[in-house]
Amino acid sequence: MKRLGDILEPFDQSNRSEVGLTESADLARPDVTCPICKGKGFLVYDVPPGHPDFSKAMPCRCTQARVAAQRARALRVVSNLGALGRLTFDSFLPDGVGLSEAVRFNLRAAYDLSANFAQDPKGWLVLLGGYGSGKTHLAAAIANYRVALGHSALFVVVPDLLDHLRATYGPNSATTFDQRLEAIREGALLILDDLGAHSSTPWAQEKLYQILNHRYNGRLPTVITSNQRLEELDPRITSRLVDPDLSQVYEILAPDFRQSGVERGGTTLSTLTLHRDETFDSFNLRPPKLSTVHRKNLQTAFDRAHAFAVNPSGWLVFTGAHGCGKTHLAAAIANYQVANGRPAPMFIVVPDLLDHLRATFSPTSATTLDKLFEQVKSAPLLVLDDLGIESATPWAREKLFQLLNHRYAAKMATVITTTQSIDKIDPPLRSRMLDRTRCIVFLIDAPSYYGGKTDQVRGSET
């Protein structure tokens, strides 16, 4: 296998987005005589004088085919894919092996997102996930797809990239540091694998920042994979990775493919599979049992939930008594995302969430608090069911505030259900829920499906 330094040479010699190839005279002498050009490789079209192609020698189709084949071979060498040529979209298992439904949908969404990027690489794609989750396979598949179409792409593992940048300082280097750095910064499509796995020396941090900042300013297509949390990276780089105008950040929740059937961290946070039957179609509006006022209130709640499902943006908070239908509507929103091929949401009951977080303090825990907490914080759509019935310890209040404050500041789609009235929610959370520019709060005052009277004061949208 060629060294990365050798592979980068074509990039060092030119900053063009594609690798230039010269049509060799040998291409005009095929081993098998072409029946069209009789082995000459070129044709002169029989056109009258004055025609743009009059007397011009045009390459035969056999010559064009050989040039294309040579170009493809050169692009594959330059791409640095090497043995990774086997990592394609066709060889990827988008449904995984032995995964829960929620994780399977998460992996399928990552596959679809990567395939769409490969077809039209614009902006940045950032794939996060644990070891063996499939992010490197998807990144390599993007590069292989582009190369197969005749476009250039450079796939490089970040520690290797830094090593070869350092090598340019050697007295025997045929390339200067500036030439190599510029070639990487200007590549048509750059794929950086394992960002964060490098030694975080000031020099390494600065060089990576220079590369990514240049590509950020130039809006150059870039794919980045990392098993690190974004907060663990250089803040200057993180701020560019999360720019919603340029970058798509997606965390793959699948476990290591080499440990099929075992979910990452040994736990499944989302319990959406338990609510698979709670959809908009199965929601019972209960007429004629309800009064006109209650029927209208429940219909409005249904409409609000459906509108949010179609375009999940900001926060939607449902309050109401037990059994009024708020959990069903919250699950229907999440199931709508799954049914329409969107990134799998996370549905979790708040007391269960806190139990999972507490369990990470055990010495036998297979994961850490930070990693588990990050899964919840970064969920594309988070549904928190039964906020307010959890143990109101200072620790629990702090974790919930950290979680919801992060999603509030990042404007991440969130659905919350609670039996508490808004005025009884902790003031820090209540202030965010009452921000009408980002949050809709709706009280479902219909009585319980299971009988009994509600102790809520009838209300409507806040």
Q: What's the pLDDT score for residue 6?
A: 52
Residues 252 and 368: their CA atoms lie apart, in Å, by 17
Tokens at residue 437, please?
């520019």
pLDDT at position 264, please?
37
Report d(CA 369, CA 346) in Å as an integer: 17
Task: Specify the residue for token string 């759509």.
Answer: 381
* pLDDT reported for residue 335: 92
Query: Which helix (H) or strand (E) element contains residue 223?
Result: strand 222-226
Torsion angles phi and psi, residue 142, rounded to 5: -60, -45
- Buried/exposed 179-190: b ≥16 CB within 10 Å, e otherwise: bbbbbbbbbbbb
Sign of the alpha-carbon torsion through 333, 336, 342, 347 = positive
Name the token pair of 225: 């994979």
Long-range contacts from 402-405, C-beta under 8 angstroms, 24+ separation: 402/373, 403/373, 403/376, 403/377, 404/429, 404/432, 405/432
| Residue 401 tokens, joined | 């505030």
- The pLDDT assigned to 247 comes to 94
Q: Are 280 and 158 in contact (CB under 8 A)?
A: no
**β-bridge pairing 190-193 and 154-157:** parallel
For the chain, domains (ranges, CATH) are 17-74 (no CATH), 82-262 (3.40.50.300), 272-444 (3.40.50.300)
The pTM for the full model equals 0.49
SS3 state at 202: helix
Phi, psi of 394 (to 5 degrees): -55, -40
Q: What are the tokens at 151? A: 């476009």
| pLDDT at position 355 | 83
Q: 40: exposed, middle or buried (C-beta count within 10 Å: 0-12, 13-18, 19+)?
A: middle
Which pair of structure tokens corresponds to residue 196? 């964060």
Tens-of-pLDDT digits for all 462 residues of the chain? 444 555 455 444 443 333 333 333 333 344 557 777 777 777 777 778 877 777 787 778 776 666 555 554 544 444 557 667 788 999 898 888 667 778 888 899 999 999 999 999 999 999 998 877 889 999 999 998 988 888 888 888 888 778 777 877 777 766 777 777 887 888 888 999 889 865 567 888 888 999 999 999 999 999 999 988 888 888 999 999 999 999 999 999 887 665 443 333 334 578 888 888 899 999 988 766 788 898 899 999 999 999 999 999 999 999 998 889 999 999 999 999 988 878 778 999 998 888 888 888 877 776 788 888 888 888 889 999 999 854 567 888 888 999 999 999 888 999 999 998 888 888 888 899 999 999 999 999 988 875 544 333 334 444
